[in-house]
Homo-oligomer: A and B are copies of this chain.
Amino acid sequence: MSTGDLKIAVDTIWVLVTAMLVFWMNAGFGMVEAGFARGKNCVNILSKNFIVFAISSIAFYLLGWGIMFGDGTPFMGLKGLWMVSGADNSPATGDAYSGVYSAINWATVPIWAKFFFQLVFAGTAATIVSGVVAERIKYISFIVFSFILVGVIYPIVGHWIWGGGWLASKGMWDFAGSTVVHSVGGWAALAGVIVLGPRFGKYGKDGQIHPIPGHNISIATLGVFILWLGWFGFNPGSTMAASVNDIARICVTTNTAAAGAILSATVVSWVFLGKPDIGMTLNGCLAGLVAITAPCAFVSVFSSLLIGLCAGIIVVFSVIFFDRMQIDDPVGALSVHLVNGIFGTLCVGLFAEDAIMSGTTGNGLFFGGGMTLFMAQLTGVITAGAFVFFISLVAWFMIKVLLGIRVSLHEEIQGLDLGEHGNSAYPEFLNRKPSYTFLSLAGQSTGTSSRSNSEQKVPVGV
């Protein structure tokens, strides 16, 4: 066996193992979102998080992969659609590779390794949406949107940045997907929540915000541990090769940003909210991980600490901001993925160092670079955001018209588990009988007296 063949074997192992870790993030999202929601909607959230990767697998196989990496225009790929068609003559061991996916020829692993790795990323974008629209969306409507997102919207933006499209030509760098994955998922979710509206009982007549605590913090915490582990696939795997120095340093930048964000989010919530709220600690971790996703390969370990510290502060105030705006995000995913996805993408423009990002076109503002790189990042953030938000809004609106988007108020109060699935997550622990049917269902402002006391955080409608 030649050293060239061996190198491909080593790279393939790395790509597949890290792809498995990213796949594993589906379990993490499932546990986080289920834990942060109420028990009466738990089966529904688990079902969404489970089926979404199946939908993603089919959509990316049929359409997404070809649109993202197929040869075509700077806007989207046109070749190699429909079930990953086109010749596979990778891995290239010396000879020039020619195929229809030339944008990803730089990676020498077999085409199915590339596909598998990119598939698990696509699935992540879709699962971000799940949490934001939780506890009131119709199951079928979420499924349909997920297909559109992974089959069309996500791969178009992916083509712009990773598929040799126009943003790549502009000099934008998004190493592991702060924009491609996280803020794309976030923008799609924001559009959804605007069409969908807040959960019943979340906001009072006079603008009061009623906390709706999650039903199971144990599995939510487990979920964040799973995601943290998965990120060691997400970021270091994005080399798509066992580049010795890069992958080791990326593990450390990734971890250090998470650590910094955990600490800053905890301190900020302790100081400003009075207690070290575990929800803020957990979302702090995710915020740091999202923020380091774009710059992880381009910055020093010390810079990753700074990025993490900022991300942890940002996420706390962002959660408060969205709540004030009455944008009801049950799990804080907008603050984690959208806001910190933007922040992380811009951090490339601030912290990238020439000495580390060898072969690239510029370095960050803080390291003597000009504005070129920063402006490319900003352009990417704005255009990707505008495109995804607008097209998602159209998609959600069409789903609303054609299928309906929201369960009935009766079903929402009773819990989606019974209405959508005929199941209960914990039939022995929870009283599954609807407790609110005696109430007037005329308006959002109706509620029990306990619900108006936000200090006590009494669970609503259980």
Binding site for B on A (CB under 8 A): 1-10, 12-17, 19-21, 23-24, 26-27, 30-31, 34-35, 38-39, 42-43, 46-47, 49-51, 53-55, 57-58, 61, 83-84, 91, 109-113, 115-116, 119, 139, 213-219, 221-222, 224-226, 228-229, 232, 236, 242, 244-245, 247-249, 251-252, 255-256, 258-260, 262-263, 266, 273-279, 281-282, 285, 301-302, 305, 420-430, 457-459, 462
Given contacts A54-B259, A112-B245, A217-B423, 15 further A-B contacts (CB under 8 A): A1-B3, A6-B6, A7-B9, A13-B14, A13-B242, A27-B229, A35-B218, A39-B428, A61-B305, A112-B252, A113-B251, A216-B425, A277-B422, A279-B423, A427-B458
A226 partner residues in chain B, CB cutoff 8 A: 27
How far is A423 from B6 in the complex, measured between Cα atoms in Å? 52
A4 partner residues in chain B, CB cutoff 8 A: 1
Q: Would A54 and B262 be within 8 Å (CB), given that A2-B3, A139-B276 are in contact? A: yes
A20 partner residues in chain B, CB cutoff 8 A: 21, 229, 232, 251
Contact A276 B421 (CB under 8 A): yes
Contact A232 B23 (CB under 8 A): yes
Contact A248 B50 (CB under 8 A): no
A3 to chain B, nearest CB (A): 6
Majority-rule SS of A interface residues: helix
A349 to chain B, nearest CB (A): 24
Contact A262 B51 (CB under 8 A): yes
Instruction: Determine the residue in chain B with the shortest Cβ distance to A224.
Output: B50
How far is A426 from B29 in the complex, measured between Cα atoms in Å? 19
How far is A13 from B83 in the complex, measured between Cα atoms in Å? 31
A10 partner residues in chain B, CB cutoff 8 A: 6, 9-10, 13
Q: Would A251 and B217 be within 8 Å (CB), given that A10-B10, A301-B84, A422-B274 are in contact? A: no
Contact B278 A110 (CB under 8 A): no
Contact A236 B9 (CB under 8 A): no
How far is A221 from B26 in the complex, measured between Cα atoms in Å? 11
Contact A34 B218 (CB under 8 A): yes
A400 to chain B, nearest CB (A): 20
